[in-house]
């Protein structure tokens, strides 16, 4: 195994240097290499042509940010052992490994197992093959490790996952609303009473991060044409399962991890192109529509649509967007005098009303013709 690998990353305009042989071994694992063939933003490229980046690049980007965050915390006197550093890096590196084809789009349709559970199953399988070298990583990922702040670096309202995907998705879509002060935020990270906090000087960067995330959801993740494309793909997958096509024989009682790990975006699109010629008129029509980008029309409303007859071509749904989740652990700000306040109290720009406000939009999709 190569002792050191340097990877170019256009998002951070620099290089990611990896020296740890265990991390390099995990990157070379087939489960991880599969992430090269899964798009980070699913069908969003049908709206933003540049959004062709993969889970693989996102996971390496999150690893890069984790490395920098750990270095920052250690420079501020936070005690983190070499094993804990490796565990945190492996946890963030593998945090998305359980996603199915086209990321969130196919979740709960191809297989009735949430991607978080599949991620843990894959981490445990890799750990068995590597003789327990991922024990600390799994504990940090599962939030059973005694240093809670390490888990917060992996999964919280201000984690390395969110910091990377906002910047990366903004870069590849060209939507500037997602640009956040990543370097500034990481340099302001600290630990107080085993909780990840932000130093007082970083409060404005955190405010921008919260607003940017809200805007990116409406501009990119919940863009109406993206929703229409997702619904079309979901209709195809549901019809394929109804016809009992073997490609999608994933049932909860017979879940095969290795077989699931073989299915990626390419398999789905090859199947869709093949099914254009299916004898089933519903399936063939849906597939031709996706291949030729004949997407459904979609309407939004502030109230639910009533009396819509749902089938493979018509349907309704709802979207929820909230800047901040008070049910999750709050982002906290550490002052020089030792006070530690939640961002909802520390910020003079984002009051509690703004932070807890949830916007719900209802949609109705239907054929344009």
Q: How far apart are CA 69 and CA 185, in angstroms?
A: 9
Closest CA to 59 of 98, 113, 4, 109: 98
What is the pLDDT at residue 114?
81
Query: What does the domain layout of the chain look like in residue ranges?
Result: 5-366
Name the DSSP letter for residue 295: P
Assigned architecture for domain 5-366: Orthogonal Bundle (1.10)
Provide, rounded to the nearest whole percent, the portion of the chain with pLDDT above 70: 96
Structure pTM?
Answer: 0.93
Dihedral sign of CA atoms 176, 182, 183, 187 in order:
positive
Structure-block tokens of residue 110: 């191809």
106-151 pLDDT, tens digit each: 776 777 778 888 999 999 999 999 999 999 999 999 999 999 999 9
Beta-ladder partners of 6: 17
Residue 1 has pLDDT above 60, yes or no: no
311-353 pLDDT, tens digit each: 999 999 999 888 788 877 889 999 999 999 999 899 988 888 8
Q: At what angle do helices 160-173 and 203-216 cross, to 10 degrees?
A: 60
Q: How far apart are CA 285 and CA 57, in angstroms?
A: 34
Chain mean pLDDT for the chain: 91
Closest CA to 161 of 116, 195, 225, 193: 116
7-59 pLDDT, tens digit each: 999 998 888 899 999 999 999 999 999 999 999 999 999 999 999 999 999 99
């Amino acid at each position: 195994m190569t002792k050191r690998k340097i990877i170019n990353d256009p998002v951070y305009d620099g290089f990611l240097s990896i020296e740890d042989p265990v991390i390099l071994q995990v990157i070379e694992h087939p489960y991880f290499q599969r992430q090269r063939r899964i798009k980070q933003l699913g069908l969003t490229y049908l709206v933003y042509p540049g959004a062709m980046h993969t889970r693989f690049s996102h996971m390496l980007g999150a690893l890069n940010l984790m490395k920098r965050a750990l270095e920052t915390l250690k420079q501020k006197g936070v005690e983190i052992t070499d094993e804990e550093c490796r565990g945190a890096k492996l946890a963030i590196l593998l945090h998305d490994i359980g996603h199915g084809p086209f990321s969130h789009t196919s979740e709960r349709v191809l297989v009735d197992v949430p991607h978080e559970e599949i991620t843990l199953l894959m981490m445990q399988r890799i750990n068995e093959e590597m003789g327990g070298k991922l024990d600390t990583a799994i504990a940090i990922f599962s939030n059973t490790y005694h240093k809670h702040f390490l888990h917060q670096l992996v999964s919280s309202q201000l984690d390395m996952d969110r910091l990377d995907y906002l910047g990366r998705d903004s870069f590849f879509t060209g939507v500037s609303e997602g640009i956040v002060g990543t370097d500034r935020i990481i340099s302001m990270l600290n630990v107080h009473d085993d909780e990840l906090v932000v130093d007082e000087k970083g409060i404005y960067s955190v405010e921008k991060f919260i607003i940017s995330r809200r805007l990116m959801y409406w501009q990119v993740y919940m863009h109406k044409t993206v929703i229409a494309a997702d619904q079309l793909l979901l209709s195809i997958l549901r019809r394929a399962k109804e016809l009992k096509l073997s490609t999608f024989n994933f049932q909860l009682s017979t879940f095969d991890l290795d077989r699931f790990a073989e299915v990626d975006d390419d398999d789905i699109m090859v199947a869709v192109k093949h099914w254009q010629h299916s004898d089933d008129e519903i399936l063939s029509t849906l597939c031709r529509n996706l291949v030729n980008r004949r997407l459904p029309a979609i309407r939004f409303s502030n109230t639910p649509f009533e009396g819509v007859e749902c089938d493979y071509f018509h349907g309704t749904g709802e979207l929820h967007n909230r800047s901040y989740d008070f049910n999750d652990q709050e982002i906290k700000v550490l002052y020089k005098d030792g006070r530690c306040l939640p961002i909802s109290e520390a910020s003079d720009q984002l009051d509690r009303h703004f932070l807890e406000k949830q916007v719900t939009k209802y949609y109705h999709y239907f054929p344009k013709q």
